[in-house]
Amino acid sequence: MPDILHRIGVEHTAPERVYDALTTLDGLAGWWTEDTTGQTDRGDVIKFRFGPPGGFDMSVVKLDPGRLVRWEVVDGPAEWIGTFVQFDLRQEGDFTIVLFRHEGWSEPVEFMYHCSTKWATFLMSLKQLVETGQGAPAPRDVQISDWH
């Protein structure tokens, strides 16, 4: 099954700070979408909304502080349900390296191509948030196409 893969390095940053941006509502709202609600502990569901028509509900399935965050998509577009999103973090010199994986897509549909590029721009938003205090979450996100 095809996966979406990405790698970024967040400069002058310890993994714990990136982990915070992935595991708190304020952090997540600072880089992915301002409309982030729910609870962020293991077993909880976080609701990410992007204005009409929808968004994603993520069940937090694994947390390892400063090292790993794993979600299962429990509601959202049909192609996303049952897929997993994982962030692996590690220190590398003055950088926190983020290895990102959105796995479990059943087919490489055109929407997957779109989501791959969109994830890249959101990960750059995560990098900017932690480095500068200012990300570009929806609805202020980078527009990449007619699909936004």
CB burial of 42-70 (b: ≥16 within 10 Å; e: otherwise) equals eeebbbbbbeeeebbbbbbeebeeeebbb
Residue 96, SS3 per DSSP: strand
Based on the shown chain and the rule CB under 8 A, indicate whether residue 69 belongs to the binding site for a second copy. no
Based on the shown chain and the rule CB under 8 A, indicate whether residue 93 belongs to the binding site for a second copy. yes
Based on the shown chain and the rule CB under 8 A, indicate whether residue 91 belongs to the binding site for a second copy. no
CB 31 within 8 A of CB 133: no
CB 13 within 8 A of CB 20: no
Bond prior to 108 in cis (omega within 30° of 0): no
Nearer residue to a second copy within complex by CB, 24 or 134: 134
Nearer residue to a second copy within complex by CB, 5 or 39: 5
Site string for a second copy, 5-24 (x = CB under 8 A): xxxxx-x-------------
Binding residues for a second copy, rule: CB under 8 A, are 2-9, 11, 92-95, 97, 99-101, 108, 110, 112-114, 116-117, 120-121, 123-124, 127, 142, 144-147
